[in-house]
């Protein structure tokens, strides 16, 4: 490969890795994909493809500029979606093997990356997060890997179907829009250069030119700067009034998304100015951009993840995670397949953690501190098992490469503890609770180089006392979320090696899995808490979920499949390995899904962890179903008791 081609390959890869689903790819796959990308320039007004055409061999990613996705209604084209930097389009037809359902037209001069479908398609099967990205859907108007009901007509609600259940609603009507911040304003005499600097400092795409009473006189956007100033047509020393658009299209606070969309289409603009009374005779309160509009048109998982990827502050991350809770509420209320829900929420939580890690790295870099060694942020506990639906306690750790000197060791320890403290702070600001036992990366015990972690793991497996077994039930559910995944793989290898060389360890782990018997009394009533704050409540975590989670962990480690951490997936994998027990393990997976759904519903209803359930809140059918499911716990525990001959240890 010549130097120029190699440089281009790395530039493409650096761009793609900022955006999902490419952010989920390993470096080697990302570079290979980037090698086959082609750059395509599309002038303003030109079509990339038209509705009804046969799909090309490529799909597209916007590198710079804007692409309109249009639907023909009658003899007119109506706007369905705007794709800007990092957005991909042209995938739907390739996934479905159909003609293009929409037209794609450049709203301004645009650069695209054309990615060969035959190079990318195998990655959907290899990467769960990539498959989830397409299954969960894009922004408003785009189809997905699963079935879409149909193309939406203008102004109606779009429904996405997954496992015969609606999983995302993107309503246009009824959604009110409000500015997220005060407008950035300048006077007519302000120079273009000064206005551009202000836009950069405030990280906005437009500036309002206002009078002394903050009434809008005109507007200048990034597009205007590129069109008039970057081309040399207007000097940067000129007054901003020379390139402003006037009059400004103004709207009142709380305008509906539908009305905002119509106004933007009528005036062929991308920004609306919100004023006190909706006219240009009252003070400006803020701006609504086209991007704001489409992000507010629904809590699609892909939209939420995109917002997190692009978030520049903690407040944005926290607000987006709050919206994810609304999405979770919808899923639970509408009985969406629980395995799908856990995957979606894990994807969102992972995106939050990854962005928190990036923000802290940027903060420390600005303070003159750079990560001295490769590291990996590990999620454990329920998040490690992809089961943290609610914002419950944090369980995480940090592993970094072994330092090569005492000096490097001291700096690495200082850096990574500070780094972890700040990441944890962001996560708590986003609503997650601190682990009461201190099982977090900001605890010096759980922020260690790889060699120390290996010693931890080896000691827990070779000296399996009660405390050691407790640690393994938490830390052996580890899952890499951010950083160098090879460090996590090294820990997986340590678990596999320990299991092979110290098989007696599994006996202790299996014995621990029998500590919580099926939660039914002699008269087949629920075993409830007898006293305390949760008197007469059923502890679904301790008495139902933990017995199955512990059993599934034993089966996974015994099989060497330590990278599978989700309890339902562990039982499904065990069923494939043991056909004789397949039905039992499938029932165990279903029972665990039931417990997870009930706990989540309780937590959403009472704004807590959902751990303690009042049986009186359950319907008769739910109580019966829950009671019947406990027999599965008993049967799974019998399998462990026989396999590991645990009756001899009692």
Cα(489)–Cα(494) distance, rounded to whole angstroms? 9
Do 553 and 642 share a domain, yes or no?
yes
Measured CA to CA, the distance from residue 500 to residue 494 in angstroms comes to 10
| Residue 290 placed within a domain | yes
Q: In sequence order, which residues have a C-beta less than 8 Å from that of residue 412 and are 6 or more positions away? A: 372, 373, 400, 403, 449
Domain final residue pick, 273, 296, 319: 296
Do 139 and 54 belong together in one domain?
A: yes
121 and 24 in a common domain: yes
pLDDT score, position 153: 36
513 with 628, same domain? yes
Asked whether residue 587 falls in the same domain as residue 649, the answer is yes
Indicate whether 542 belongs to any domain: yes
Same domain, 259 and 204: yes
Contacts of 467 (CB under 8 A, 6+ apart): none
CATH number assigned to the domain comprising residue 47: 2.60.120.10
Total domains, the chain:
3
- Cβ neighbourhood burial of 490 (10 Å; 0-12, 13-18, 19+): middle
Nearest to 208 by CA among 284, 288, 291, 278: 284
For residue 413, the SS3 value is helix
pLDDT, position 400: 96
| Distant-in-sequence, close-in-space partners of 348: CB < 8 Å, separation ≥ 6 | 301, 304, 305, 308, 321, 324
630 belongs to a structural domain:
yes
Within-domain flag for 357: no
CA distance 240 to 220: 8
In a domain, 315, yes or no: no
Instruction: List the CATH number of the domain containing 193.
Output: 3.10.580.10
Let me know whether 135 and 264 are in one domain: no
**Residue 430 belongs to some domain of the structure:** no
Pairing between strand 176-177 and 255-256?
A: antiparallel
Using CB atoms within 10 A of its CB, is residue 399 exposed (0-12), middle (13-18) or buried (19+)? buried
| Low-confidence stretches of the chain (pLDDT beneath 50) | 1, 135-174, 522-523
CA–CA distance, 386 with 183 (Å, rounded to integer) = 40
649 and 508 in one domain?
A: yes
The reply to whether 640 and 521 lie within a common domain is yes
Residue 539 forms part of a structural domain: yes
pTM of the predicted protein model = 0.62
Q: Rounded to 5 degrees, what are φ and ψ at 167?
A: -120, -5
Name residue 73's beta-bridge partners: 76
Question: Could you list the residue range(s) of the whole structural domain that residue 8 is in?
Answer: 3-143
Q: What is the dihedral of CA 299, 300, 306, 308, to 10 degrees?
A: 40
Assign residue 254 a region (left: φ > 0; alpha: ψ between -120 and 50; beta: otherwise). Answer: left
CA 547 to CA 511: how far, in whole Å?
Answer: 11
In a domain, 421, yes or no: no
Provide CB contacts within 8 A for 3, sequence distance 6+.
none
Instruction: Look up tokens 């645009």; give the residue.
Output: 110
Last residue of a domain, one of 98, 122, 143: 143
Counting other chains too, the contacts that 568-577 makes at CB distance below 8 Å and 24 or more residues apart are 568/338, 568/339, 568/342, 568/592, 568/593, 569/386
DSSP states of 474-518: HHTT-EEEEE-HHHHHHHHHHHHHHHHH-THHHHHHHHHTTSS--
Do residue 617 and residue 541 come from a single domain?
A: yes
130 with 194, same domain: the answer is: no
Token pair in block for residue 153: 């007509």
Q: Which residue has the tokens 């993107």?
A: 170
* Orientation of helix 27-35 relative to helix 3-16, angle to 10°: 120
Out of 123, 143, 163, pick the residue that ends a domain.
Answer: 143
One-character DSSP codes across 340-398: HHHHHHHHHHHHHHHHHHHHHHHHHHHTT----S-EEEEE-HHHHTT---S--B--EEE
Buried b (16+ CB within 10 A) or exposed e, 35-61: bebeeeebeeeeebbebeeebbebbbb
Q: Are residues 124 and 193 in the same domain?
A: no
């Amino acid at each position: 490969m010549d130097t120029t081609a190699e440089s281009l390959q790395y530039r493409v890869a650096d761009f793609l890795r900022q955006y999902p689903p490419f952010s989920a790819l390993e470096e080697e796959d990302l570079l290979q994909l980037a090698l086959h990308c082609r750059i395509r320039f599309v002038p303003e007004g030109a079509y990339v493809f038209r509705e009804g055409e046969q799909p090309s061999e490529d799909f597209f990613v916007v590198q710079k500029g804007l692409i309109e996705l249009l639907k023909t209604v009658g003899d007119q084209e109506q706007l369905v979606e705007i794709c800007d930097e990092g957005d991909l389009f042209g995938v739907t037809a390739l996934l479905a093997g159909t003609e293009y359902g929409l037209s794609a037209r450049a709203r301004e001069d645009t650069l695209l990356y054309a990615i060969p479908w035959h190079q990318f398609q195998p990655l959907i099967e290899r990467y769960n997060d990539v498959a989830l990205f397409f299954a969960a859907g894009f922004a408003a108007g785009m189809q997905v890997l699963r079935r879409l009901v149909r193309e939406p007509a203008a102004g109606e609600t779009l429904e996405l179907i997954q496992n015969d259940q609606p999983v995302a609603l993107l309503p246009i009507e009824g959604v009110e829009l409000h500015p997220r911040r005060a407008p950035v304003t300048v006077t007519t005499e302000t120079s273009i250069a000064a206005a551009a600097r202000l836009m950069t400092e405030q990280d906005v795409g437009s500036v309002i030119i206002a009078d002394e009473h903050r009434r809008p006189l005109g507007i200048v956007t990034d597009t205007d700067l590129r069109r008039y100033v970057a081309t040399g047509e207007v000097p940067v020393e000129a007054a901003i009034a020379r390139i402003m658009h006037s009059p400004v299209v103004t709207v009142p606070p709380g305008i509906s998304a539908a009305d905002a969309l119509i106004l933007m289409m009528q005036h062929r603009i991308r920004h609306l100015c919100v004023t006190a009374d909706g006219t240009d005779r009252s003070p400006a309160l803020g701006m609504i951009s086209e991007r704001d509009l489409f992000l507010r048109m629904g809590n699609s998982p892909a939209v939420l993840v995109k917002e997190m990827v692009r978030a520049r502050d903690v407040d944005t991350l926290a607000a987006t995670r709050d919206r994810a809770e609304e999405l979770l509420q919808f899923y639970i209320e509408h009985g969406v397949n629980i395995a799908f829900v856990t995957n979606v929420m894990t994807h969102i939580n992972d995106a939050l953690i990854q962005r928190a890690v990036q923000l802290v790295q940027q903060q420390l870099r600005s303070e003159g501190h750079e990560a001295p060694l490769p590291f990996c942020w590990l999620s454990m506990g329920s998040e490690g098992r992809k089961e943290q639906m609610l914002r419950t306690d944090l369980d995480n750790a940090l592993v970094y490469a072994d330092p090569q000197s005492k000096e490097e060791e001291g700096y690495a320890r200082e850096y990574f503890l500070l780094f972890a403290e700040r990441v944890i702070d962001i996560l708590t600001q986003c609503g997650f609770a601190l682990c009461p036992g201190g099982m977090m990366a900001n605890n010096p015990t759980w922020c260690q180089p790889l060699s120390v972690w290996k010693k931890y793991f080896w000691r827990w497996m070779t000296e399996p006392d009660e405390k050691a077994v407790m640690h393994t039930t938490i830390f052996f559910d580890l899952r890499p979320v951010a950083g160098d995944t090879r460090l996590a793989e090294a820990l997986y290898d340590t678990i596999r090696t320990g299991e092979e060389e110290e098989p007696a360890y599994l006996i202790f782990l299996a014995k621990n899995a029998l500590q919580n018997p099926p939660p039914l009394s002699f008269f087949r009533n629920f075993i409830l808490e007898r006293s305390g704050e949760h008197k007469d409540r059923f502890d679904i975590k301790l008495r139902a979920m933990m017995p199955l989670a512990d059993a599934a962990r034993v089966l996974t480690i015994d099989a060497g499949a330590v990278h599978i951490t989700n309890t339902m997936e562990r039982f499904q994998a065990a069923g494939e390995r043991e056909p004789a027990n397949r039905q039992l393990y499938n029932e165990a997976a279903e029972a665990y899904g039931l417990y997870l759904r009930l706990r989540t519903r309780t937590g959403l209803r009472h704004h807590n962890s959902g751990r303690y359930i009042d049986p009186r809140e359950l319907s008769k059918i739910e109580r019966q179903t829950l009671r019947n499911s406990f027999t599965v716990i008993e049967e799974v525990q019998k399998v462990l008791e026989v396999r590991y001959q645990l009756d001899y240890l009692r």
